[in-house]
Amino acid sequence: MNPSEIARAITAVLGEENIESATHCMTRLRLRLKEQNDHKREALKKIPGVLGINISGEELQVVLGPGRAAAVTETLCSLLSQSPPPALTAPPSAPPAAPAPRSAVGDGQALRETLRVRNATPVRLLFKRITNIFLPLIPAFIACGLLTGLLNIFLRFFPVMGTLPIVQLLYVAGNTAFYGLNLLVGWNTAKEAGGSPALGAILAALISHPQLAAITLWDVPLIPGRGGVIAVLFIASAGAWLEKHLHRLVPEILDLFLTPLLVLLVTGTAAIFLLQPIGGWVSEGISCLTAAAIEKGGAITGFLLGGSWLPIVMLGLHHTMTPIHAELLAKDGVTVLLPVLAMAGAGQVGAAVAVYVKTKNAFLKKTILSALPVGMMGIGEPLIYGVTFPLFRPFIGACLGGACGGAVIAFFAVGAGTLGISGLPLAAATNQPLHYLWGILTAYIVGFIATYLLGFTDPSEESTTQQRKETVP
């Protein structure tokens, strides 16, 4: 099915009136629904092109893969804006009984039952908010990271070119996302917390202003940008909280002028004297602990982190690590955590290749061939939901591959000078490209061998053919 057909099928299953909003990330359509329904989610899994379903708090995530997620979201949003609604057959009033869980290529029907937890817990809601703050920034990280990485490769061969104005300008462009990161995080944090995005950005700019370095309080000079994005999260959230309360307290005739002024003065004062120092202590503690864990734990730490990352990706919690990456970059110039975690995707590539070699199922081979290129580029969800997890034992093999690759990366203390990219492209942005590639190769080989030895139940051609023929009402 093409993206338009997938969007229409999703709308038909869920009901246009039941969809409150639709957004997307790199691989997932993210829906907010008025009413959740298990039967409808089971019907979504049967739509050709849907790789899996995940529940995160009140959000329904439909895994579609890179490129397709954006195209489906665009079409779905256009369908929702139409009046009258497009001619789609409504779901039946009495949905059929949910089918028994089964293992099938691209299905992942057991995914929700395996991973579902109490999504309304404060911790899960906090993780979801952090994800919503940083998720819109990923394209900027990717663009700047790739540009910086390519420049690094170019200058390794032609170092004399580094003095050229055009190269220097490109370096500036590659660092732009990180130069304005606090402002972007402040904007998104205030928006997510229900405040004015511009006020969140202003408060972030306040603690980042270079003129703070010229100010001394109690014989202690202020440090511009101390606490990084951690401090910005605290300050912008506090500003949004205060703003919402002031809207209820300040007379309407004065609200437009008085509320933003009070937010800036009160929250700004709290930021300088309290919130920024706390954010600094937290961020410094996180970065020191992370760096120490990898430095002292070495290969053992890398093994544990690399082996546990795929389940975290499946839970949709991987973007919550972005603040830690950002703090490590701000403190040390590199993040030693990102290259370790990137090995999980490499292990999955090796596992998928092993499945391709062993399987007799033509549809499974086709699924692997279509997902392998993006998997090698660091986007592993199509392989997770379409291949390894439905077969399960290859998923274990992928985790073992990621663990061994992570051990190699941590042993050599490989660091990345950017974030937002993974897989093979990340090699260009690391301080040790050769050792990073050794880690990737290790993850490929171990993932392949582990999966080949563990084996899997090869789905029959009949089961996958039937799955492709299933359509929603």
Cα 161 to the center of its chain, rounded Å:
35
3-state helix, strand, coil in the chain (%, to 5): 70, 5, 25
The neighbouring-strand residues paired with 59 are 32, 56
How many other CB atoms are there within 10 angstroms of residue 45's CB atom?
24
List CB contacts of 64: < 8 A, sequence separation 6 or more.
6, 27, 28, 29, 49, 50, 51, 72
Question: In whole angstroms, how far apart are CA 122 and each of 118, 119, 128, 193?
Answer: 10, 9, 10, 15
> 47 CB contacts (<8 Å, ≥6 apart)?
1, 6, 9, 10, 13, 471, 472
DSSP 8-state class, residue 458: P
Cα-only R_g, the chain: 24
Burial of 277 (0-12, 13-18, 19+ CB in 10 A): middle
What count of other Cβ atoms lies within 10 Å of the Cβ of residue 273? 10
Distance CA 230, CA 277 (A): 11
Question: In degrees, to the nearest 5, what angle opens at C-alpha 356 toward C-alphas 355 and 360?
Answer: 95
Question: Rounded to 10 degrees, what is the CA torsion of 122, 126, 128, 130?
Answer: 180
Q: Which of 25, 144, 399, 404 is catalytic?
A: 25
Helix (H, G, I), strand (E, B) or coil at 34: coil
265 exposure class (CB count in 10 Å sphere: 0-12, 13-18, 19+): exposed
Residue 288 annotated in active site: no
CB atoms near residue 63 (< 10 Å): 25
Comparing C-alpha atoms, which of 103, 152, 214, 178 is closest to residue 429? 152
One-character DSSP codes across 84-146 = SPP--PPPPSSPPPPPPP---TTT-TTHHHHH---TTSHHHHHHHHHHHHHGGGHHHHHHHHH
Distance between start and end Cα atoms, the chain: 15
Q: Which residues are catalytic?
A: 25
